[in-house]
């Protein structure tokens, strides 16, 4: 018995189409889960350094601040869902993304006294400088 395989002139084209759709779906999935990179402002005051991180729509429970080996790291995840209802349609758009920003701390900071506050989508981190005690010359009397 002889098996005859039919030639499909479009088989290669169908394979290319499947691969193209797979790549498009993969790219679409990645674009929906792109990492979020928050905007950062830094400044120095007389007694402290300040870092302001713009995190609109992110709850403070979803933000982590850590100091390890003189590196301060701000990380977390944004989870935003927008819902629209109308007589003719219902739409939910979700945006998710993890973020992380790290800052090497200068030597003159007191990392045990770092404070953070969140107000209107802006996280402010206050990094106090070590208070230097000036030692005045002292005369020692001979007894």
pTM of the model: 0.62
Q: What would the pLDDT profile of 91-135 be if each residue is shown by its tens digit?
A: 776 667 788 999 999 888 998 999 999 998 899 999 999 887 777
> Which one has a higher pLDDT value, 18 or 34?
18
SS (H, E, C) the chain: CCCCCCCCCCHHHHHHHHHHHHHHHHHHHHHHCCCCCCCEEEEECCCEEEEEEECCCCCHHHEEEEEECCEEEEEEEEEEEEEEECCCCEEEEEEEEEEEEEEECCCCECHHHCEEEEECCEEEEEEEECCCCCCCCCCCCCC
pLDDT > 60? residue 65: yes
So where are the chain's domains? 33-82+89-128
pLDDT > 90? residue 42: yes
Report the topology of domain 33-82+89-128.
Immunoglobulin-like (2.60.40)
Determine the pLDDT at residue 68: 93
């Amino acid at each position: 018995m002889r098996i005859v395989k039919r030639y499909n002139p479009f088989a290669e084209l169908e394979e290319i189409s499947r691969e193209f759709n797979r790549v498009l779906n993969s790219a679409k999935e990645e674009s929906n889960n792109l990492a979020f990179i928050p905007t950062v402002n830094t400044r120095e005051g007389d007694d402290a350094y300040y870092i302001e991180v713009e995190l609109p729509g992110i709850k403070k429970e979803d933000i982590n601040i850590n100091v390890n080996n003189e590196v301060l790291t701000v990380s977390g995840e944004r989870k935003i869902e927008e819902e629209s209802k109308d007589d003719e349609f219902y739409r939910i758009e979700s945006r998710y993304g993890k973020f992380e920003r790290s800052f090497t701390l200068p030597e003159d900071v007191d990392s045990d006294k770092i404070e953070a506050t969140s107000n209107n989508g802006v996280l402010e981190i206050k990094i106090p400088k070590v208070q230097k005690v000036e030692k005045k010359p002292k005369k020692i009397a001979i007894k």
